[in-house]
A and B are shown apart, each in its own frame.
Chain A
Amino acid sequence: MFSRKMIERALQNVYDPELGVNVVDLGLIYDIRVEEDGVEIDMTLTTRGCPLHDSIAAGVRNAVQALGIEDVKVNLVWEPAWTPERMTDRARQQLGY
């Protein structure tokens, strides 16, 4: 059984290729639910409709599957909308603040 922490650590390897900050520190991951038969993740993106950002969501699923978990469900949610306030201090530091 995988822990939420392990999933989160895997997601720290998925970077927004434009910002150079990982999805966890960016505050894109809203919820991780580890269940018997798989993992379900609620996440958002900084910009709706951008193909680059869409591929980040695919990257989240790839990263969790790489742990050996086959059933991964990624729900893209737009409410509440992402704002820069959701970033961690580390993300802010990486962006120069």
Chain B
Amino acid sequence: MGMPAGELISANAPDLRVPFRHIITAVIIFVLLTSLLFLGQGHIFSFYFRNPLALLATHATTLGWATMMIMGAAYQLVPVVLEVRLFSEKLAMSGYYLFTVGLVVLLAGFTWLHIPILVAGGTLVILGSYVFIYNLTRTLLLAPRWNVTATFLGAALFYFFLTITLGLILALNLQAGFIPSAVLRVVAVHAALGGMGWFTLAIMGVGYRLLPMFALVHRLPNLLAMPIFWLANLGIAGTAVALTAPGIAGAGVASLFVIALAAAVILFGVDVWRIVSRRQRARLGLTMRFSLAAVGYLVALAVGASVVLSTRLSFHGAATALPMGFAFLFLMGWVTAMIMGHLFKIVPFLVWLDRYSDKIGKQKVPLLREMVNERLGEWTFWLYNVGVIGAGISVLGGITTFRSLFLGVTAAASYLFAFNVLTVFRGPRQVTVREKG
């Protein structure tokens, strides 16, 4: 008898340095981003078309924070979920360097709207992203069997590819001007593919795996997942086509696709509620709270978009305030709250694996929740959501005084969050003595 320790440990997860680097870089960018939103708000929220600071803030959020995080998490999660090894760890690391260097150059390019720097940075970011897409696609193809998470992630990767390729075309167009007219429509397609295709499908796919696990819900049939997947894809692809070729599909048809997308989002909200209501753990931890808030933002935005489209609501400043407010609430509410919540679990999980997985059963090891400051996390939850909701409403309503206050609260919450998450690397705050059963 006897069994070497290594045999039981899952061999599929990659070297922890891969997710660690992505996560730490993303958190640093997040803190810089909320500071930029607070300090540069006057410029950022004034108009969105070819506004350097608005472009800088948007791409710092989408690429530096959200995409960086999803890449790091996917490298860790996909091999574990699909029970397959990551296609190449070396590629993952080289992709990270290409992407990060490219991002810094790209953000500098946006700051000064300097086209050659923008194109150079954009090219590196795209190369880094292609490396990630290739690496993850090869990993997905190696999987012995697919599940809901893999299906959502596979489609999300495809939309990510389209989004960044279109982004580079838009950057080149700034100089050459080859997109004939209505460039704003192409910008809208770029945003729809990235926001709904890449972020939303990726987060939904990961959520279908992690939320039942955190809620300790077992054997809940995924009846809605695939209908949501197809409805969302119909909505995303249809919206993109309708925006690109308005001659073929008029504004009315485009609205129908947006409503299909909204229906997918609302059904996803129902599914998350189904998971939460059947949970076997009474207490909703930080991850679940942030996730529920995030889904709340998404559902509210879907309902809001449907109302705006069906009533053709128009008011003074709607052309700027509506897209700005929606984009802010989408990125800082839905995408960011979901990522923050999951980081409260993912970082302790990775640090625990690194430090304690070979010590369990031999000595006292901390629980994951003992590795973060939960009370500080609670404060962060309330501060962050009050800040984002307040700032979002202020942007929608053009109320600059309150906007400043709420963006300050959002930034303060992001500092508390970064402090809490990064100090996990220092080790547990305390290991409580647990009552032996």
Chain A residues engaging chain B, CB cutoff 8 angstroms:
9, 12-15, 17-20, 22, 24-25, 37-40, 46-52, 54-66, 70-74, 76, 81-84, 87-88, 90, 92, 95-97
Contact = CB atoms under 8 A, between A and B. Distances in A.
B216 interface: yes
A54 B10 contact: yes
A20 to B, nearest CB: 5
- Contact residues of B: prevailing secondary structure: loop
A10 to B, nearest CB: 9
B361 A63 contact: yes
B2 to A, nearest CB: 5
A30 to B, nearest CB: 16
Q: List the 4 closest A-B pairs by CB distance, nearest first.
A: A96-B282, A62-B361, A59-B360, A59-B361
A30 B145 CA distance: 28
A83 B220 CA distance: 11
Contacts of A9: 436
A22 B437 contact: yes
Given A15-B434, A17-B366, A63-B361, A95 B216 contact: yes
A35 to B, nearest CB: 8
B436 A56 contact: no
Given A60-B361, A83-B219, A96-B282, A71 B2 contact: yes
Interface stretch (B246-254, B322-330, B350-358): B350-358
A46 to B, nearest CB: 7
A54 B9 contact: yes
Contacts of B437: 12, 22, 24-25, 88, 90
A59 to B, nearest CB: 3
B2 A51 contact: no
A58 B367 contact: no
A51 B9 contact: yes
B349 to A, nearest CB: 6
Interface residues of B, number: 39
B367 A20 contact: yes
Nearest to B285: A18
B207 to A, nearest CB: 15
Interface in B243-301: 280-283
B138 to A, nearest CB: 19
16 contacts: A25-B437, A38-B1, A51-B12, A52-B352, A52-B353, A55-B356, A58-B5, A59-B362, A60-B361, A66-B361, A72-B2, A74-B3, A87-B280, A88-B437, A95-B216, A96-B281
Given A17-B365, A55-B9, A96-B281, A62 B360 contact: yes
A18 B436 CA distance: 17
B80 interface: yes
A81 B218 CA distance: 10
Contacts of A81: 218
Contacts of A74: 3, 8
Contacts of A83: 218-219
B234 interface: no
A51 B366 contact: no
Nearest to B216: A84
A62 B362 contact: yes
Contacts of A48: 83
Nearest to B212: A47
Contact of A52 (B5, B83, B349, B358): B349
B81 interface: yes
B12 A72 contact: no
Given A55-B357, A66-B362, A17 B352 contact: yes
Contacts of A95: 216, 280-283
Contacts of A25: 437
B369 interface: yes
A73 B281 contact: no
B13 interface: yes
B283 A73 contact: no
Nearest to B209: A47
A58 B368 CA distance: 18
B357 A58 contact: yes
A51 B353 contact: yes
A82 B362 CA distance: 25
A5 B337 CA distance: 46
B1 A72 contact: yes
Contacts of A58: 5, 8-9, 357-358, 360-361
Interface in B365-379: 365-369
Given A73-B3, A84-B218, A96-B281, A54 B8 contact: yes
Given A22-B437, A58-B5, A17 B280 contact: no
Best-buried of B219, B281, B366 by chain A (most CB within 10 Å) = B281
A53 B77 CA distance: 14
Best-buried of B219, B280, B352, B362 by chain A (most CB within 10 Å) = B280
A70 B360 contact: no
B218 A82 contact: yes
